[in-house]
């Protein structure tokens, strides 16, 4: 498909439907909620998952099927963190016998991870410019007895 990517309807609603175009009527509804983290996530990736999922859920930007995209973001975050630690320890250049100082391969890994992270951050409205386009939904009222934060009956 050529041109701009379509904006998800829930994001249009959070932004106040600035284009004032009719919203799609037959779009599938996906239940909001925090997906389970994939089993392969570990270390820094899992910590980032635990840090970011409650915030995305509170903003109404996370559904049960967003787990794969969020896991990919968390993997990129972990790669960036690991590469950054290596750069801090070894520097941005390394000495080679043949060519003298060359750019650290960890700098290349870090830059690539940051590029991929940025793409995911924009998708989830987690950058200042993408967030400025999202209007927060009103805070949910206190859950009724027997309901959780999202208004779902407990035990479901």
For residue 50, the model assigns a pLDDT of 96
For residue 99, the model assigns a pLDDT of 86
Distance CA 107, CA 21 (A): 44
Percent of the chain with pLDDT over 70: 78
Distance CA 81, CA 78 (A): 5
Report residue 51 as tokens.
């840090």
pLDDT of residue 148 exceeding 70: no
Q: What is the pLDDT of residues 98-108, one digit of tens each?
A: 989 999 999 99
Inter-residue contact 10 to 60 (CB < 8 Å) = yes
Alpha helices in the chain (DSSP H): 9-14, 43-58, 67-90, 105-123, 128-132
With CA atoms as reference, report the closest residue to 33 among 77, 1, 70, 4: 70
CA 151 from centroid of its chain's CA atoms: 24
Report residue 32 as tokens.
């909001």
pLDDT of residue 71 exceeding 90: yes
For residue 87, the model assigns a pLDDT of 96
Residue 103's H or E segment, with its range, is strand 100-103
Q: What is the pLDDT of residues 13-32, one digit of tens each?
A: 777 877 888 877 776 677 78
- Residue 3, number of CB atoms within 10 A of its CB: 5
Three-state DSSP state, 95: strand
pTM: 0.69
């Amino acid at each position: 498909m050529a041109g701009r990517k379509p904006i998800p309807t829930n994001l249009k609603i959070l932004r106040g439907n600035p284009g004032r175009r009719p919203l799609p009527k037959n779009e599938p509804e996906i239940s909001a909620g925090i997906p389970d983290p994939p089993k392969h996530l570990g270390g820094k990736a899992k910590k980032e998952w635990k840090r970011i999922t409650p915030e995305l859920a509170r903003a109404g930007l996370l559904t049960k099927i967003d787990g794969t995209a969020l896991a990919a973001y968390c993997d990129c975050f972990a790669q960036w963190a690991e590469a950054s630690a290596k750069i801090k320890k070894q520097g941005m250049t390394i000495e080679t016998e043949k060519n003298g100082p060359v750019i650290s391969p960890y700098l290349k890994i870090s830059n690539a991870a940051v590029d991929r992270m940025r793409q995911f951050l924009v998708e989830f409205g987690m950058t200042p410019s993408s967030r400025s386009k999202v209007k927060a939904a009103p805070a949910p009222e206190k859950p009724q007895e027997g309901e959780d934060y999202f208004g779902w009956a407990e035990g479901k």
